[in-house]
Amino acid sequence: MHDPSEMPERLRAFLAAQEPEVDEIVVESYEPMTGGYSRVLARAAVRWRRGGTAEQHTFVLRGDPPADRALLFSDRAAEWAVLDAVAGHSRVAKGLYFDPTGDALGTIAIVLEHSPATSLLPYCASGSETAHLPARLAEAAASFHNIPIDQLPAALDRPTSWDGYLDVRIDEWRRTDREHVESLPVLRYVAEWLDAHRPPPVPLTLIHGDFQSANMLVDDDGMVLLDWELAQIGDPREDLGYFKAVAQAAPPDLTDDESFCARYRELTGLDETQVNPVVVTYFMVLGVIGTSRRLFEGGAAFARGDNTSVGSLFNLNSVTFGQMMWLQACRQLEAVLPPSARRQ
């Protein structure tokens, strides 16, 4: 995928190996796609004949960039396994084929079915009706938060308890500060604040890890969820908070509508003490650490000369914006989520 001029033939040969019963495979077009945050994306139009019948397909290829241009590092094999696990529960871009070594496609890559649905932000900007979207967002989140943990890939770590999981997640703020190229006291402050203001526990579930508008498509049937590379088992409210966090820079914030929390509670069985606007705002802060840590790592790698992607440096701007958001949220929550709510 790193050399688009090679890809029509590479893809044709790969598909011939994956679909031995088809013939006359023609890759009619292959073009890199914009919008891929951490992975290389491309779209291909392909036609072939199966049993004498002509078929037309559009595929999306999602692969790893060169190591020195990676904004963050994740595992395509793990993503492929998660895609398979959620496919029967959530609306996703269906995973069709996987090149686990990169020998066929030039990098480790997943080939997905192209979805004709519209990206969420352009959908909202087009003037389309949006009143139904908060409930649709809640339904999309609940669809995979409700998957029994024993149905998830064995490779996903299983935390032993909610408290232990939250300990690790909060300490990730401190660890990010320790491992960064310079000390950032705001990270330590946020960690201590989160530790002292813990919300009520909930059962751990699969979480998307990058549950935001850029990874969502909309059509008449609801939402299609993309990009599962950061999926893990954790507190499901991290996904809700992460959506809210990204929406501060890229509105609309669908979690602000009262129908969002109500519909999510209805579908998951959680109560009003566990899921409400205050708790979602708490996780707006806590839930960003996974992505923020990777952005810090990318910036540090650039500073060391291990990463040549200017994007790694540019994306530190979002962390600067995030620092203001985190501190403001902590101050606003003081009156409604006091230290007395912390874990005893």
- DSSP for 28-70 reads EEEEE-S--SSSEEEEEEEEEEETTEEEEEEEEEEEPPPGGG-
Q: Which residues of 165-192 are buried (b: 16+ CB within 10 A; e: fewer)?
A: bbeebbebbeebbeebeeebebbebbbe
- Tell me phi and psi for residue 18, to 5 degrees: -80, -30
pLDDT level of residue 344 (50, 70, 90 thresholds): very low
Question: Tell me, what's the pLDDT at 310?
Answer: 75
CATH architecture for segment(s) 4-113: 2-Layer Sandwich (3.30)
pLDDT level of residue 305 (50, 70, 90 thresholds): confident
The percentage of the chain sitting over the pLDDT mark of 90, rounded to a whole number, equals: 75
DSSP label at residue 92? B
Domain regions of the chain by residue span: 4-113, 118-341
Q: Bin 252: left if φ > 0, else alpha if -120 < ψ < 50, else beta.
A: beta
The SS3 of residue 216 is strand
Query: What count of other Cβ atoms lies within 10 Å of the Cβ of residue 268?
Result: 19
> Are 236 and 268 contacting, i.e. CB atoms less than 8 angstroms apart?
yes
pLDDT tops 90 at residue 2: no
271-302 pLDDT, tens per residue?
999 999 999 999 999 988 877 887 787 777 77
Distances (CA, A) of 85 to 45, 61, 155, 158, 214: 27, 20, 12, 16, 22
233-254 pLDDT, tens per residue?
999 999 999 999 999 989 999 9
User: Distance between CA atoms of 118 and 105, rounded to whole angstroms?
Assistant: 27
User: Distance between CA atoms of 277 and 248, rounded to whole angstroms?
Assistant: 15
pLDDT tops 50 at residue 226: yes
CATH superfamily placement of domain 118-341: Aminoglycoside phosphotransferase (APH), C-terminal lobe (3.90.1200.10)
The percentage of the chain sitting over the pLDDT mark of 70, rounded to a whole number, equals: 97
Higher-pLDDT residue of 231 and 343 is: 231
Query: What count of other Cβ atoms lies within 10 Å of the Cβ of residue 160?
Result: 9
Question: Tell me, what's the pLDDT at 90?
Answer: 96
pTM: 0.90
Residue 184 structure tokens = 């950032």
- What type of residue is 155? A
What average pLDDT does the segment 163-182 reach? 91
User: Distance between CA atoms of 147 and 118, rounded to whole angstroms?
Assistant: 26
Q: Which residues of 111-148 are buried (b: 16+ CB within 10 A; e: fewer)?
A: bbeebebbbbbebbeeeeebeebbbbbbbbbbbbbebe
Question: Tell me, what's the pLDDT at 202?
Answer: 98
* Cα 180 versus chain centre, distance: 23
Query: Within the chain, where are the H helices?
Result: 7-18, 76-86, 120-125, 133-145, 162-179, 185-196, 237-249, 258-268, 277-286, 289-304, 310-314, 316-333
User: Distance between CA atoms of 265 and 256, rounded to whole angstroms?
Assistant: 15
